[in-house]
Amino acid sequence: MQLPHVKKLISFFSTRDVSVILVLTFVSLLAIILFIWHSNEEHLLDMREIIDKNQIASQKMQMVNNLIELARSRTSLTAGVIYEEDPFVQDELGLQLDILASRFARLRRELLSLPLSIKEKKYLEKQAAIVPIILPAQRRSVELAIEGDSASLKEAKRLLHEIVNPGQNQLVKIFTELIDHQRKNIDKLAILSRESYETAREQSHLLVRIVLVFGTVLSIIVVLRVASIQRKIANARDELEVTVRERTRELAESQTTLQTVLDTIPTRVFWKDSSNIFRGCNHLFALDVGIDSIDDIKGKRDSDLVFHAIPFNNEQEDQEIIASGVSQLNKEIGVEVNHNQSWWEVSKAPLRNENNEIVGILGSYIDISERKRIESMKDEFVSTVSHELRTPLTSINGSLSLLLGGAIESLSPQVQNLLDIASRNTQRLLSLINDILDLQKMEAGKMKYVFQPIDIADLLVKSVEENGEYAKNYSVTLKIIEKTSIIVSADENRIMQVFGNLLSNAIKFSSEGGIVEITLTCQDNNAMIKVSDHGRGIPARFRKTLFGKFSQVDASDSRKNSGTGLGLAITKTIVEKHQGTIDFTSQEGKGTTFFLVLPTNNSNLSKENQAANF
């Protein structure tokens, strides 16, 4: 075989899956073994057949020899009877002759019962043709010899020499030829037996050689394949080492970048494992808890740290977050440090692995002391301004009401118009101040709530009636589509304030001639109130801040549709104080639906709500 062909063969086997090669080799070897085994089985069957034929041929030859001996014995006995002078001996020899005749006939029948070839049958047919001539002559010669007279004896001798002896010689000749034929058959069978044996032995040797060749080839294939696999493993190992080095470098760079980002943000960040042991933090958190290096915090617990000279102990709270899997966001805590009040906004969330299993907690602290100080100043300013403005505005509004009510008999139309404008603006300012003060009370927890069983359906009808005139000013119709009598524990005045805010908003943002639809149903032991308008809807960019303070759909709303922007913020606070929820759905150009849910089984109102009743 040429060298390129050898290389191609080696390349073929080295690139194939060794299991496929082994299977193909095994199947091929098994097929060859089965073929040779089947061929050997055929040769064994042939040898068995030859042995059987050989045994039959030997049996035939033995029978023919016996027939020859019987024929010769009969001839001798016949001659003995003829030439014997003693009558007693003649009788004895005659009896033996009859016995021999019987044995000859029986042995001939046995020979005829064996499988015979055509040639053997022809020999026996020749013998069968002679026997009817010989036997009567033998019997007649014996009978004549026993009679004893000279003529009978002479005739007996004639029959012996002319018929019996020649016939017996011919029989012996036929049987001798038959024996020669059988001997030749036995020789042929012996040759065939040797040939079958030699063939079987050669095939066995061939099978051994094939097994050796296949074993050698298979060993070569396995060695080539193993060498190929080892080369691939070595290459894969080299590639893996390069990849690991690159990933390690990238991970180190990523960790460095992440640590740099964490150290530059004005937020304290830390993370723990599920056993509440610190695994890392940023530089600001390390400084706050008295750690010089961020690496020193690893392995520590809360009890090992102090936060601005105050023991840092949040393990129970952190363990609850890990156990529940619920994040704690924007929790405000106050800490007194060096006789100064410090405020922090804390957020914590469970850390999860790739299998979504909780493995720890991530926390962050933001110093909101300055923001709290500014909010306090703002609230104090708003409260002061509101209280300072409320009294004079009330006086002005009362004076304007007197003037518009006819305190002065004759007013020019121009003065009347100015007084109307002044009265509306004064009422608007009073409404704004009242809303601000209400919201401030609610946020401070000082708003008074009087909870008592009321029928929400009655309050809804009452609110619709009270806002009827307001709806007529906008050419809008208020329509109760469905209502059910539902008893809840609530503050009647505050719920009326909620209904008034929702209905006034729906009226203001409905198109002229529009209908505001109201429904009241009971769902899951809750009172579900829906207020739907078919106005312009709320743009998506305003939906997240709609319940915030001074929130309005756009800047023109404060002028076109009079409002303070505090109504929905107040409404949400009141609803939540009743353990309810409020939300909305809206489509631009099609309208908005506000729906609020109030629980009917709220007899166990929170102590916080009950404490507000003072």
Tell me: the pLDDT tens digits for 12-30? 555 555 566 666 666 776 7
Closest listed residue to residue 32, CA positions, set 220, 217, 210: 210
Higher pLDDT, 126 or 580: 580
- For every residue of 527-547, which 3-state class applies, written as one string? EEEEEECCCCCCCHHHCCCCC
Output the six-digit token pair for 595. 């729906």
Interacting residues of 21 by C-beta distance below 8 A, sequence separation 6+: 13, 218, 221, 225
CB 368 within 8 A of CB 343: yes
Higher pLDDT, 262 or 308: 262
Query: What type of residue is 609?
Result: N
CB 112 within 8 A of CB 125: no
Contacts 24+ apart (CB under 8 A), 37-41: 39/203, 40/200, 40/203, 40/204
- Give the least confident one: 39-43, 72-76, 422-426, 534-538: 39-43
DSSP lists the bridge partners of residue 365 as 268, 346
The pLDDT score that the predictor gives to residue 607 is 42
The pLDDT score that the predictor gives to residue 597 is 93
Domain extent listing, the chain: 19-217, 265-367, 377-440, 450-611
Q: What are phi and psi of 556, to 5 degrees?
A: -75, -15
Longest distance between any two alpha carbons in the chain, whole Å: 208
pLDDT at 508 over 60: yes
Determine which helix (DSSP H) or strand (DSSP E) holds 353, and give its type and residue range: none
Higher pLDDT, 211 or 5: 211
Higher pLDDT, 527 or 194: 527
- Residue at token pair 């019996």: 164
pLDDT at 500 over 60: yes
- Region 103-127: mean pLDDT is 72
Determine which helix (DSSP H) or strand (DSSP E) holds 519, and give its type and residue range: strand 515-523
Per the prediction, the chain carries an average pLDDT of 76
pLDDT at 517 over 90: yes
- Region 443-468: mean pLDDT is 86
Closest listed residue to residue 575, CA positions, set 613, 545, 602: 602
The pLDDT score that the predictor gives to residue 109 is 74
pLDDT band at 531 (very low <50, low <70, confident <90, very high): very high
Tell me: the pLDDT tens digits for 385-410? 666 666 676 777 777 777 777 666 66
pLDDT band at 450 (very low <50, low <70, confident <90, very high): confident
- Region 521-545: mean pLDDT is 87
Tell me: the pLDDT tens digits for 154-178? 777 777 777 777 777 777 777 777 7
- Give the least confident one: 74-88, 173-187, 190-204, 346-360: 74-88
Q: Please state, in angstroms and as integers, the Cα–Cα distance from residue 509 to each residue in 514, 515, 537, 555, following that order.
A: 10, 11, 8, 14
Any idea what DSSP says for residue 379? H
How far is 214 from 33, CA to CA, in rounded Å? 12
Q: How many residues are present in the chain? A: 614
pLDDT at 422 over 80: no
Output the six-digit token pair for 467. 């806002």
Closest listed residue to residue 588, CA positions, set 536, 553, 526, 546: 536
Higher pLDDT, 523 or 13: 523
The torsion region of residue 30 among left (phi > 0), alpha (psi -120 to 50) and beta comes to alpha
pLDDT at 80 over 80: no
- Region 237-258: mean pLDDT is 85
Q: What is the CATH number of domain 450-611?
A: 3.30.565.10
Superfamily of domain 265-367, CATH level 4:
PAS domain (3.30.450.20)
How far is 455 from 458, CA to CA, in rounded Å? 6
| Cα 531–Cα 536–Cα 538 angle in degrees, nearest 5 | 75
CB 145 within 8 A of CB 193: no
The pLDDT score that the predictor gives to residue 478 is 93
% of the chain with per-residue pLDDT over 70: 71
pLDDT at 271 over 80: yes
Output the six-digit token pair for 101. 């005749």
pLDDT band at 283 (very low <50, low <70, confident <90, very high): confident
- Give the least confident one: 336-345, 489-498, 533-542: 336-345
pLDDT at 239 over 50: yes
CB 175 within 8 A of CB 67: yes
CB 588 within 8 A of CB 604: no
Interacting residues of 614 by C-beta distance below 8 A, sequence separation 6+: 448
pLDDT at 564 over 70: no
Higher pLDDT, 70 or 464: 464
The pLDDT score that the predictor gives to residue 211 is 73
Q: Please state, in angstroms and as integers, the Cα–Cα distance from residue 8 to each residue in 2, 3, 16, 23, 25, following that order.
A: 10, 9, 12, 21, 19
Q: Please state, in angstroms and as integers, the Cα–Cα distance from residue 100 to each residue in 68, 92, 110, 131, 161, following that order.
A: 12, 13, 15, 14, 20
pLDDT band at 11 (very low <50, low <70, confident <90, very high): low
Residue 158 burial (C-beta neighbours within 10 Å; 0-12, 13-18, 19+): middle
- Give the least confident one: 177-181, 266-270, 407-411: 407-411
pTM greater than 0.75: no
pLDDT at 605 over 60: no
Fold classification of 19-217 is Four Helix Bundle (Hemerythrin (Met), subunit A) (1.20.120)
Strongest mean pLDDT among 203-212, 243-252, 369-378, 403-412: 243-252
The pLDDT score that the predictor gives to residue 452 is 92
Output the six-digit token pair for 41. 């089985």
Q: Say how many CA atoms lie within 13 Å of 489 toward its Cβ.
A: 14
Determine which helix (DSSP H) or strand (DSSP E) holds 516, and give its type and residue range: strand 515-523
